[in-house]
Amino acid sequence: MDSAILKPGKDKAVRNRHHWIFSGAVARLPDIDDGDILAVRSADGEHLGYAYFNRRSSIAGRMISFGKTLPEDAIRESLGQALALRKAFFDPAVTNARRLVNAEGDALPGLVADLYDDVLVVQIATRGMDKLKPLLLEILVETVKPRTVYEKSDLPARREEGLEEFEGLLYGDRAGADQVDILENGLPFRVRPSRSQKTGFYLDQREMRGLVRRLAKGRRVLNAFSYTGAFTVCALKGGAARADSVDSSEAALGLAEENLELNGLPSSSGYFIAADVFEFLRSPDLDYDFIILDPPAFAKKRTDVVQACRGYKDINRLAVQRVRPGGLVLTFSCSHFIEAALFRQVVFQASLEAGRRVRILQEHRQAADHPVNVYHPETAYLKGLLLYVD
């Protein structure tokens, strides 16, 4: 196999098992088709592993094997280990929806695979992974035995890789892609992979939904950025006095109402409000004593960080200002560009401007089926703070 040669001194990241090789670190790249796999060598010729390469991307290479394990064996091994981790931590009788593959978090850059009961939804971000699709499909069908495999690669970031957005059935029963009911912590939720955001459901908040259920008793809850109402259902199941859902997507709110019904909750348990959260939080007469803020990633690239912090500060200031005394604010950022320390800084500034006494009761991160790769810190993206406001 041909090799890519790294520049002198530019092999440290790979030696530290980081998956990305930036274009500036590459001294020599043989003539390849974008997405092809190459051996990776240091400037003095030492073999470091295998990566797939794409000249168009600023991340020229992504490692799939560190060491001698051949690419296909490495993919099989990483998939096997990813599935073993989920088997160890999830009881399908209680939670049958989980992320099986979390990209670099599972040493499989460019690949996300979410299982909704027996419906597997995959998301491919890179040309290298796209080329490996037949192999991935073969292994996943054989080991997971799903009813449906649906690809939902509607990622604008694919453009940088020279890939169009793509969505379609890869295997099995098409109906599974349109609708599937799942169980999370024993509660049913409806997912519509083909018609929703991401792969269909925000599995990374599973543990936080358990927390909301435990804390909601007797409280008036606002689920801001509610998507399909998963936090709303959990708050009501936990005995909330009322739980309102606010989202800009009418389709998401429609499914939120279905999710209440699926859980035997009357639709009068709260309002479903199609609105911009930034405006909604400014409306008069808010009387919530538990506000959940789970916005989309405001910073999608590093250059967005300053603007994103303004957005996070804005909603957090409003929530802290408006929540009733003795109230809770559960606030998140899911952008990996906003590091935990920066997010705390934003919440500090927001609290200061709101002029309330604010205490952090708990800190949170993504659920365990979204593991963080210690060698690849970018895999840590979700941060949450549970605030108590006097």
Residue closest to 288 by CA, chosen among 267, 311, 319, 260: 319
Comparing CB distances to ligand SAH, the nearer of 65 and 102 is 102
**Does 252 participate in binding ligand SAH (rule CB under 6 A)?**
yes
Q: DSSP string of 250-311?
A: HHHHHHHHHHHHHTT--GGGS-EEES-HHHHTTSTT---SEEEE----S-SSGGGHHHHHHH
The answer to whether the beta carbons of residues 190 and 354 sit under 8 Å apart is: no
Helices 71-89, 133-144: inter-axial angle, 10-degree rounding: 40
User: What one-letter code names the amino acid at 153?
Assistant: S
The residue (of 62 and 322) whose beta carbon lies closer to ligand SAH is 322
Backbone angles phi, psi at 289, to 5 degrees: -120, 15
Active site residue 234: no
Strand partners, 21: 61
Instruction: Rule CB under 6 A: choose which of 63, 230, 235, 346 binds ligand SAH.
Output: 230
Residue (205 or 379) nearer to ligand SAH, CB: 205
Kindly tell me which of 197 and 263 has the beta carbon lying closer to ligand SAH. Answer: 197
Q: Is 333 in the site for ligand SAH (CB under 6 A)?
A: no
Output 161 or 204, the one with its CB closest to ligand SAH. 204
Question: Nearer to ligand SAH by C-beta: 289 or 294?
Answer: 294
Q: How many Å apart are CA 128 and CA 146, to the nearest integer?
A: 24
Q: Which of 66, 231, 288, 337 binds ligand SAH (CB under 6 A)?
A: 231
Q: How far apart are CA 211 and CA 186, in angstroms?
A: 14
Q: Cβ of residue 343: shortest distance to ligand SAH, in angstroms?
A: 16
20 near ligand SAH (CB under 6 A) = no
Bridge-based pairing state of the strands 47-53 and 59-66: antiparallel
* Residue 366 binds ligand SAH, judged by CB under 6 A: no
Among 20, 52, 116, 227, binds ligand SAH (CB under 6 A): 227
Specify the residue for token string 């998939």.
79
Give residues 65-104 in contact with ligand SAH (rule: CB under 6 A).
none
Residue 277 contacts residue 246 (beta carbons within 8 Å): yes
- Residue 258 is a binding residue for ligand SAH (CB under 6 A): no
Single out the catalytic residue among 334, 367, 372, 382.
334
Residue tagged 């990483």 (tokens): 78
Three-state secondary structure call for residue 209: helix
At its nearest, how many Å lie between ligand SAH and the CB of residue 170? 25
- Give the x/- contact pattern for ligand SAH in 183-202, rule: CB under 6 A: --------------x----x
Least Å distance, CB 331 to ligand SAH, is 12
Determine, following the binding rule CB under 6 A, whether residue 278 of this chain makes contact with ligand SAH.
yes
Residues 218 and 240: their CA atoms lie apart, in Å, by 5
Running DSSP on this structure, what letter comes out for residue 240?
-
Q: Fill in the per-residue mask, 281 to 320: x = in contact with ligand SAH (CB under 6 A), - = not in contact.
A: -------------xxx------------------------
Q: Which is nearer to ligand SAH, 65 or 123 (CB)?
A: 123
Q: Provide the pairing of β-strand 180-184 with 290-293.
A: unpaired
Which residues sit at the interface with ligand SAH, rule CB under 6 A? 197, 202, 205, 225, 227-228, 230-231, 247-249, 252, 276-278, 294-296
Report the catalytic residues. 334
